[in-house]
Structure 1
Amino acid sequence: MTYAAPAASAPTVPAGTPVHTRWGWVTALIPVAGVVLTIVQLWMMSAVMLDYFRQLAALIAASRSDPGVYDPAVMNGLMATMMPMWIGVMVLSVVSWGLYGLGVVAAYFDFQELGRLGYPKRFHWAWNFLSPVYPIGRAVVVQRQAGAGRATMWISIGALAASFLIAAVWTVWLVLAILGEVSALRGTLA
């Protein structure tokens, strides 16, 4: 005769216990805000990068007939073209770090709130240092105890997928735009 240990029942919370807190929603929506910042940053960079590339290609073409075109004043003007982009990138980077910090703080408060609501097992807030991990892990742990609460997980997964898709589409677009510029300048560089 074999002995089977009794199955350990998963800890549960009373029916009607909330599965979402305001801080849980904040941790789920911060990746969405990150996607919006990514779109803004790529939009800001696109026109400036293409303008810089056009000016650089024209400078290279002009240098064929006039080697003195590389005057420091011309080069400074070329670099000045990029300055608005770098300022924008720096501002958006500071905002991104602020969102990252807000996410960590929100995860901590969410962890505490879930404890006050009676959840015996909680996904540790420090997982939010790996940004999209906390809302996903939190949803799984809450789902196991309450039978619901996966919305934060799907929002985070959607934001992560959107950020990869946006970056891939933008990269392909940029490469094609630069190749188009190279094709247009082919005759002047030959």
Structure 2
Amino acid sequence: MTYEATPAPGWYPDPHGSGALRWWDGTRWSDQLAPAPSPYTAQQRRRPLDSGTPVYTVWIWLVVAIPALSACLLFLLQPQVLFHGVPGTSRVTIPDPLALIGGPMYFVVIGLSWLLTAAFIVFSWLDYRELLRRGVERPFHWAWSFLGVVYPIGRSVIVRGVAPGRGLAPIWVTIGVYAFSLIVSTIWAIRITTEIIGTATQNVPLGA
């Protein structure tokens, strides 16, 4: 003869299909219901930080400042379009095509841009490591820094989750830095365009 084991008293999924938990007292179902647990368990939630734990590091401020430095590199470039008209004809020649991209300084700017990109990634990694040291569980991964602005945004969201009321400053600084970069780029483009038009007006023969 076999006997079926009776479940121990406890909360179980409601056999009546309510989607909640119903109390089993060991012999029968009671009328007591309780909300079903969220699939987002306590193990998945991050432990809150102590209120005295700093949430900003020197590395995150370097991360958000780098785009502004990158924008300022534009002013090292001085593209020049040198038009030479051929006497007696309407032909125009450009004696130095390299000047179109800013001369040798173009390659210097490209090199500096790569260095700043590498620094952005390294500083993100250092920030990630420091957050771990301060007790942030599973901080936003530094590898997102390969996508640029994604890292400071994701980092701020995670930190805000474990330190309510704090942690969003890098997002606002990032917005300000990118607005600054846009303004700087626009000023540079207008200045270069004006110089090119002026050079063309002075050197291109009429009718060319």
Aligning the two structures, in what range does the TM-score lie when normalised by the shorter sequence?
0.7 to 0.9
> Which of 25, 31, 54 does residue 67 from structure 2 map onto?
31
| Distance across 2 between alignment mates of 1:33 and 1:107 | 16
98 and 124 in structure 1: CA distance in 2 versus 1, 3 angstrom threshold: same
132 and 173 in structure 1: CA distance in 2 versus 1, 3 angstrom threshold: same
172 and 67 in structure 1: CA distance in 2 versus 1, 3 angstrom threshold: closer
| Distance across 1 between alignment mates of 2:175 and 2:193 | 27
| Distance across 2 between alignment mates of 1:81 and 1:100 | 25
- Gapped regions of structure 2 (runs ≥ 5): 1-17, 21-34
1:164 aligns with 2:200: no
Structure with the bigger percentage of helix = 1
| Distance across 1 between alignment mates of 2:192 and 2:69 | 23
> Is the partner of 2:138 in helix, strand or coil?
coil
Taking only the aligned residue pairs, the percentage that are identical comes to 29
| Distance across 2 between alignment mates of 1:69 and 1:128 | 46
Which gives a bigger RCO, structure 1 or 2 (Cα 8 Å, sep 6+)?
Answer: 1
- Gapped regions of structure 1 (runs ≥ 5): none
| Distance across 2 between alignment mates of 1:128 and 1:81 | 33
| Distance across 1 between alignment mates of 2:36 and 2:111 | 54
> Which of 74, 99, 105 does residue 88 from structure 1 map onto?
105
Alpha-carbon shift at residue 90 of structure 1 (Å): 1.0
The structure number with the bigger radius of gyration is: 2
Query: TM-score with structure 2 length normalisation?
Result: 0.67
Superposition pairs of residues 1-190 of structure 1, within 5 angstroms: 3=20, 4-5=35-36, 11=46, 12-38=48-74, 40-41=75-76, 44-45=77-78, 48-49=79-80, 53=81, 55-56=82-83, 59-60=84-85, 63=86, 65=88, 78-79=95-96, 82=99, 85-147=102-164, 148-182=166-200, 188-190=205-207
Alpha-carbon shift at residue 96 of structure 1 (Å): 1.4
| Distance across 2 between alignment mates of 1:122 and 1:132 | 16
Alpha-carbon shift at residue 101 of structure 1 (Å): 0.8
Query: TM-score with structure 1 length normalisation?
Result: 0.72
| Distance across 2 between alignment mates of 1:69 and 1:171 | 24
| Distance across 2 between alignment mates of 1:68 and 1:36 | 37
| Distance across 2 between alignment mates of 1:167 and 1:133 | 21
